[in-house]
Structures are given as C-alpha cells and as structure tokens.
Structure 1
C-alpha cells in the first residue's frame, strides 16, 4: 500500500499546500479508518494517529456511517475496497448527510481518475495507491485543518443567528411599547436598556417579558 518514493496524485491540490490550511488553536479531531482488514487499518493508523484525538476501526461502510451518525468522528478515511461495497457511494452519502465530516478515499492508481470524477464537487479528498506515508500524513493534516475552518464558520454562523434572533425580539418589543404604551422609539430603546440594567437581565430577556405581557397571544 505504501511506498517510500511513490508519489500519489490528489484531488484537491498538492500536499505541500497544507500550510495554507493550518489555522492555530484548532482542536484535534476524532477519526474513523474504514478498511477490509485489521492489517490495513493498523498500517494507516500508525502513520496518522498523532494527528487525531482518537482513531477507531470500522470494518464496513455501514459501521462507518453509524459512527458518523452518532457523532463519533470528524474525519473518515476509507481504504477501498470495503467488504460490503467499494466505498465511494457511502463516502458520498456521508458528506451529504453529515456536512461537517471530512472524508478521504484511498484507491488504486488505475481507478483514481474515475473516482475523482465521481466525487467532484463533494469535497472528498482522493489519494491513489501506492502512497508514501509522509504524503498520507500531509493529506490528513490538510483534512483536519479544513475541518477546523468549517467548524469555525459554523460557530460564526450560530453566533450571527443568535444576534439576528435577539435583534428581531428586541425590535418586536420596541414596536409593542410604541403601540401599546405610546412611547417614542427613543423612549422604548431607553426603557429596554434601563430595565435590563436594573434587573441584571439581557435585553433579549427583557424584550421577551415585554412581548409576553403586551402580546400574550403571540
């Protein structure tokens, strides 16, 4: 499987580009290696184990998908073929159902072009065998960094969603104060700010209380 001097081709760029995908402070990921035998699993694990918090074995794609569904892995490495199927269809299924799971597929050199074409546009990282251990390690590090960037974007989106949610609630409360209490917009804003300060509550909490009081049917 691994040759000291054999250079594989990759579907997502050269391994030397990995430095561009290495943000600092990214928490280590959990990985699942899908392989037909414990021997193949052990060979891959020996190379990549230091990159991850944990590395688990899956002897079938069905087992790998179960682990992904249970949130037990961030990265899946598939050493094709797998006993229950070749592995590519399930790789596509995993990235479609679990978009924050990164997938790497290892294939024979004569299948590389075919597999790369099939997974094009899905963000699946493809390496062809035989493969140098150093290149596999670099590819895995790139995947880990990509996962970290995606996780950061997810967190930023969640924060933005919370801010938009708070803005919507506060705006609704201001409108009710203007409508029901005959306040001006400036008075409603000051009332929310002052009440939040006096009660040691957030503006969102105060706004929710105002909405429940002035528009109980909402």
Structure 2
C-alpha cells in the first residue's frame, strides 16, 4: 500500500503523522527537502505533505516535483502566505493549506484529493478504452485500403470481408485486419 511522506521540522512530525495517517497507510517523516527527495526515489508513496518552510528550501519545488512524478501533494504554509503560494502552485496541481491546520481541514483536504484521484482514474480508464477503439479503427481502415487497392473492392465490400474473416477465424476485427495487412504488404 502506498504511503504518506511528510517533510517537516522534527517538532511537527508526530502531529502531522496523526492528522495525515489515514486508512492505515504507512507514514515516513523527513526533516529536509533533500531527504524527502531521496525517500521519494526509494519508497512507494501516494501523498507528500510539505510543512513549509524546510531548512534547505521553502518546499514549493519539492511539492511541484512530487505532483509531476504522480503523487498528490499538500503544502502547508503560514496563513498570511497561503493565498500567494497557492496562486503559484495551482498550475502544478499542488494543494496549499494554511497553517495552523485543524484536523477537520486536513480530513476535508484528504477527501477532496481522494475524490479527484477517483475521477482521474475513471478518465484514464476511459482514455485507454478510447485509444484501443481508435487503434482498432485505424488498423481496420488500413486493411480496407489494402483490400481496395489490391483486390479492387469497395469500402463496403472490404469492411464485409474483414468482418467475415474475423467471424470465421473467431478473432477480433483488429486481428483479422492485421492478418490482411501482413498478407498483402
């Protein structure tokens, strides 16, 4: 199960661990951005919490890089700075929350992140399905062109020939089309 990585000064580790350790996810704490980057390379994490500022950098770059690498990322910063920091990190997909953070705010943020992750997963699954359909249509279209060119068939006749070959061989239209392409080219 992917875990939670917390980058913060040592004195806040336990409080952040209690707030963000949900559903029994493993939690690892780091005290600097460099240590967090090494942990990201070594571990399996789904969420990065950056309690800014860190001793070696503010934490913006670390949070943005984590999102780029496929993690969800929350940057906690002082309330007066939160809006300004959020404006700069919105385009990367980093969630910025004001510090001090209540447990309610943290739980709400986690629910928003989980909801967004579910929506993204459905979109990616749909993208895979549509890509497969487009690939099949492309291959079938190429096979129709080959049949039209080599056998003098119309598009409708070529389509019927591909469907018949697929049914007779008990394969998909794509596989039948690939076989035609292999035979004629």
TM over 0.5: yes
Superposition pairs of residues 18-167 of structure 1, within 5 angstroms: 30-37=3-10, 40-51=12-23, 54-59=25-30, 60-65=32-37, 72-95=44-67, 97-98=68-69, 100-167=70-137
Unaligned runs of 5+ in 1: 1-27
Specify the SS of the correspondent of 1:54. Answer: coil
Note the alpha carbon deviations across 1:62-104, whole angstroms, 9 max, x for none: 4544565678233222122223322112222333x33x43211
Root-mean-square deviation (CA, aligned residues, Å) is 2.4
Equivalent pairs, count: 184
Measured at CA, do residues 130 and 158 of structure 1 come closer, stay the same or move farther in structure 2, by a change above 3 Å?
same
Measured at CA, do residues 72 and 175 of structure 1 come closer, stay the same or move farther in structure 2, by a change above 3 Å?
same
Query: Normalised by the size of structure 2, how large is the TM-score?
Result: 0.85
Determine which structure has greater relative contact order: mean sequence separation of CA pairs < 8 Å that are 6+ residues apart, divided by chain length. Answer: 1
Q: Is the 8 A contact 1:112 1:128 kept in 2?
A: yes
Unaligned runs of 5+ in 2: none
Measured at CA, do residues 137 and 83 of structure 1 come closer, stay the same or move farther in structure 2, by a change above 3 Å?
same
Larger mean CA deviation between 56-65 and 115-124 belongs to 56-65
d(CA) in 2 for partners of 1:145, 1:65:
26
